[in-house]
C-alpha cells in the first residue's frame, strides 16, 4: 500500500470515491507489460463503481453524490467515431495507453511531487480517482455498487459481444472458448437472444456447472481428449456454429473458432492479443472460405 496524492478534478473531470473495483485480466497483462510498454509507477484498475466526490469546472452531467461506473473507453459524443453510430472508439476519449489523462497528457496522482501514472485513464485500485466526465456513466442509486462494477468491463463486454457484434438471433448455435467473466456474459447474452445451443469450451472442469447456470447448454473440456483442441472440439460439435468467441487470444484456440464457424454466416471475435507472436498470424486461407474474424473493442458497447 502506498500513500498517494490526488489532485482535484480539472475542467470536465470528476473525482470519484471508489466503492468497488474488480481485477480484470487486462490489468494483469498491462502489469506484466505484455501488450504495452512498461509505464511505472502506475495505478491499475479500470472496472469500478463509485460515488462522485467533486466535480471540475464545466461538468454539467454529474453532481456530488451521484453513483457512477467508470468507462475506460469514453465518449466525447461529438467526434466522427462517436457520431457515426458504428463505433465506440472515440477519437478524443478512446483507450488511453500512455498512463496520463486525455486532456493534458499529465497525471493527477503523485508521490512527493513525482507523477504516478494512470491506467486507461481510470486507475481504480485507489480510494479516490479522477476521470474525465466522458469516462463515467451515472447509474441508479439503488443498484448494488459492490456488484455492478463488473458491468464496467467484463459483463458489458460479453453482453455487447452477443448483442451488438455477433447479433445472436433466435435459434443460433454459438461456441464460446474461455468461460471467465466475459465468456459467461456472452452465454447470458446469447441465452437472452434465444440461442438454442450454447457450447462452452474451457480447460477448467469447475466451470461446467457454473457455465450452465449462465446458459451454456453443452460443456467441452479439451483436456479430456488427447487430440489437439481443433480436433477434439470439432468432432464433439456436430454442427457448425454461427458466432464464436475466444477470450484469451491463443493461436490454436483462435484457429479453432474459425474452423467451427459457418462460412459466410459466423463472426469469430476475440478480445485481446497480448502475445507478440500472435500478431504475426493471419489465417488467410480460412478468411478466403468466407470466415469472418473480427477484433472488438469492448464489443461496441456505448454508454
Ligand atoms: Zn477489463
Ligand atoms: Zn468521440
Q: Which ligand is nearest to the CA of 76?
A: 2
Is the model's pLDDT at 196 over the cut of 60? yes
State how beta strands 48-55 and 13-21 pair.
Answer: antiparallel
Q: What is the predicted pLDDT for the residue at 223?
A: 86
Q: What is the predicted pLDDT for the residue at 152?
A: 94
pLDDT band with cut points at 50, 70 and 90 for residue 170: very high
Q: Which ligand is nearest to the CA of 24?
A: 1
Q: What is the predicted pLDDT for the residue at 277?
A: 45
Q: What is the mean pLDDT of residues 174-191?
A: 90
CA of 152 to the centre of ligand 1 (A): 8
> Please, which residues have CB within 8 angstroms of residue 285's CB and are 6 or more apart in sequence?
none
State how beta strands 173-177 and 197-201 pair.
Answer: parallel
Higher pLDDT: 251 or 191? It is 191
- Taking the C-alpha atoms of residue 201 and residue 209, their distance in angstroms, rounded to an integer, is 12
Is the model's pLDDT at 244 over the cut of 90? no
Q: What is the predicted pLDDT for the residue at 100?
A: 97
pTM: 0.81
Average pLDDT, the chain: 83
Q: Where are the beta strands (DSSP E) in the chain?
A: 5-6, 13-21, 48-55, 67-70, 109-111, 114-116, 128-132, 136-138, 173-177, 197-201, 218-220, 243-246, 267-270, 293-295
Q: What is the predicted pLDDT for the residue at 89?
A: 83
Q: What is the mean pLDDT of residues 78-100?
A: 91
- Taking the C-alpha atoms of residue 61 and residue 12, their distance in angstroms, rounded to an integer, is 10
Q: What is the mean pLDDT of residues 119-145?
A: 97
Is the model's pLDDT at 290 over the cut of 80? no
φ, ψ at 62 (rounded to 5°): -130, 155
CA of 177 to the centre of ligand 2 (A): 32
Give the model confidence (pLDDT) of 14-69 as tens digits.
999 999 999 998 899 888 876 567 899 999 999 999 999 999 999 999 999 999 99
What domains does the chain contain, in order, with CATH numbers?
5-152 (3.90.180.10), 155-300 (3.40.50.720)
> Within 13 Å, how many C-alpha atoms sit on residue 137's CB side?
19
Query: How is residue 67 written as a grid cell?
Result: 453513483
CA of 211 to the centre of ligand 2 (A): 36
CA of 238 to the centre of ligand 1 (A): 33
pLDDT band with cut points at 50, 70 and 90 for residue 229: low
Per-chain residues with Cβ under 5 A from ion ligand 1: 24, 26, 153
Query: Taking a C-beta distance cutoff of 8 angstroms, is the pair 35, 82 a contact?
Result: no
CA of 19 to the centre of ligand 1 (A): 17
Q: Which ligand is nearest to the CA of 119?
A: 1
Query: Does residue 41 have a cis bond before it (omega within 30 degrees)?
Result: yes
CA of 227 to the centre of ligand 1 (A): 32
Query: Taking a C-beta distance cutoff of 8 angstroms, is the pair 45, 126 a contact?
Result: yes
- Taking the C-alpha atoms of residue 33 and residue 101, their distance in angstroms, rounded to an integer, is 19
Is the model's pLDDT at 129 over the cut of 80? yes
Q: What is the predicted pLDDT for the residue at 239?
A: 41
State how beta strands 114-116 and 109-111 pair.
Answer: antiparallel
The residue written with cell numbers 476519449 in the block is: 93
Proportion of the chain above pLDDT 90, given as a percent: 54
Three-state SS for 209?
helix
Closest CA to 73 of 87, 86, 83: 87
Is the model's pLDDT at 300 over the cut of 80? no
Q: What is the predicted pLDDT for the residue at 235?
A: 43
Q: What is the predicted pLDDT for the residue at 287?
A: 54
Proportion of the chain above pLDDT 70, given as a percent: 74
- Taking the C-alpha atoms of residue 94 and residue 300, their distance in angstroms, rounded to an integer, is 12
Three-state SS for 161?
helix
Q: Which ligand is nearest to the CA of 44?
A: 1
- Taking the C-alpha atoms of residue 52 and residue 271, their distance in angstroms, rounded to an integer, is 30
pLDDT band with cut points at 50, 70 and 90 for residue 80: very high
Q: Which ligand is nearest to the CA of 74?
A: 2
Is the model's pLDDT at 106 over the cut of 90? yes
Amino acid at each position: 500500500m502506498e500513500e498517494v496524492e490526488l489532485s482535484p478534478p480539472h475542467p470536465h473531470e470528476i473525482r470519484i470515491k471508489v466503492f468497488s473495483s474488480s481485477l480484470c485480466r487486462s490489468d494483469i497483462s498491462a502489469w506484466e507489460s505484455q501488450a504495452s510498454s512498461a509505464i511505472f509507477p502506475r495505478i491499475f484498475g479500470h472496472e469500478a463503481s463509485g460515488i462522485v466526490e467533486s466535480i471540475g469546472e464545466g461538468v454539467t452531467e454529474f453532481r456530488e453524490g451521484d453513483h457512477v461506473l467508470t468507462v475506460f473507453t469514453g465518449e466525447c459524443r461529438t467526434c466522427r467515431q462517436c457520431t457515426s453510430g458504428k463505433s465506440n472508439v472515440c477519437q478524443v476519449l478512446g483507450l488511453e495507453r500512455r498512463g496520463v489523462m486525455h486532456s493534458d497528457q499529465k497525471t493527477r496522482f503523485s508521490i512527493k511531487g513525482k507523477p504516478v501514472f494512470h491506467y486507461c485513464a481510470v486507475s481504480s485500485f485507489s480510494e479516490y480517482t479522477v476521470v474525465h466526465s466522458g469516462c463515467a456513466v451515472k447509474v441508479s442509486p439503488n443498484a448494488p455498487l459492490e456488484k455492478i462494477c463488473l458491468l464496467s468491463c467484463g459483463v458489458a463486454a460479453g453482453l455487447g459481444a452477443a448483442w451488438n457484434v455477433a447479433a445472436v438471433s433466435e435459434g443460433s448455435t454459438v461456441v464460446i472458448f474461455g468461460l471467465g467473466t466475459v465468456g459467461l456474459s456472452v452465454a447470458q447474452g446469447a441465452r437472452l437472444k434465444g440461442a438454442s445451443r450454447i457450447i462452452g469450451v474451457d480447460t477448467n472442469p469447475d466451470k461446467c456447472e457454473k457455465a450452465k447456470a449462465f446458459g451454456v447448454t453443452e460443456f467441452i473440456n479439451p483436456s479430456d481428449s488427447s487430440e489437439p483442441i481443433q480436433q477434439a472440439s470439432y468432432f464433439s460439435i456436430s454442427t457448425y456454429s454461427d458466432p464464436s468467441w475466444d477470450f484469451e487470444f491463443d493461436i490454436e484456440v483462435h484457429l479453432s473458432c474459425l474452423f467451427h464457424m459457418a462460412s459466410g454466416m459466423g463472426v469469430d471475435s476475440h478480445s485481446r492479443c497480448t502475445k507478440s507472436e500472435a500478431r504475426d498470424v493471419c489465417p488467410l486461407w480460412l478468411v478466403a472460405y468466407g470466415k469472418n474474424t473480427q477484433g472488438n473493442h469492448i464489443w461496441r458497447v456505448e454508454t
